[in-house]
Amino acid sequence: MTKYYCFIRAMAAFVAVTIAFSSCQNSAANLDQPPPMVYASPVVLPLKLGKPVKLNWNNIKAVPVHPLVKPFDLDKLPAHSYDTAGFKPYKYPVEETRFDYNALPGNDLDIDKLPSRPMKFTTVKLAPPKLIHWDRPRASWEARLLVFLPTVMAFYG
C-alpha cells in the first residue's frame, strides 16, 4: 500500500513540475521596447468646453416615465452558430511599421515652472470619541457548532 502512495505522490510531483515548466514562455524577446505601432500616431487636440449653464432645479418639472415593454420571443432570433476560432483574412495585407522610441521629442520637467495656487483649508478640533465597552465573547452552547457571540455591556463611556 505504501508503494502505491509513493507512486501517486511521485506522479503528482512530476505533473506539477511539468505544468510549471511548460507554462513559462522562454523567449528572448526584448521586453524593454514597446511593440511596433500598427496605427497612425494620434493627433493631440486641446479640450475646449462651452460656457457653463446654470440649472434651476426648481423650474424643472418631474415627468412620469412609461417604458415601452414588448414581449421577447427567443424563437424568432436567427439561429446560427458562432465560430470563435474562425479566421477571416483581411482585405489588404498588414503593413509593418517601426516605432523608434528614441526619436520621440522629450522635454525635461521643471517643477518650479508649474502653476500653483495656495490651498484654502480650515482646521477643526474634533471631540473625543465615544468609547463602547465590550465584554469578552461568550460561547453559545445552544448552537449545533460552537459559536462565540459578543455581548455588549449596557454602557457607553
* pLDDT in the model for residue 139: 65
CA–CA separation, 135 vs 150, rounded Å? 7
Provide the residue type at 84 as one letter. Answer: T
Q: What percentage of residues in the chain have a pLDDT greater than 90?
A: 6
- Dihedral (Cα; 69, 71, 74, 75), 10-degree rounding: -150
Q: What are the pLDDT digits (tens) for 113-153?
A: 888 888 888 999 999 988 887 777 666 666 666 666 555 54
Please state the φ and ψ torsions of residue 139, each to the nearest 5 degrees: -80, 135
CA–CA separation, 28 vs 36, rounded Å? 17
Are the CB atoms for 36 and 98 separated by under 8 Å? Answer: yes
Are the CB atoms for 134 and 153 separated by under 8 Å? Answer: yes
Across 47-51, 106-110, 134-138, the highest mean pLDDT is recorded for: 47-51
Mean predicted confidence (pLDDT) in 47-64 = 86
* pLDDT in the model for residue 125: 92
Please tell me the least confidently modeled range out of 3-17, 45-59, 90-104, 113-127. 3-17
Question: Which three cell numbers mark 64?
Answer: 412620469
Domain ranges of the chain: 130-157
CA–CA separation, 134 vs 152, rounded Å? 5
* pLDDT in the model for residue 106: 77
CA–CA separation, 20 vs 12, rounded Å? 12
* pLDDT in the model for residue 74: 84
CA–CA separation, 138 vs 133, rounded Å? 15
Mean predicted confidence (pLDDT) in 75-84 = 78
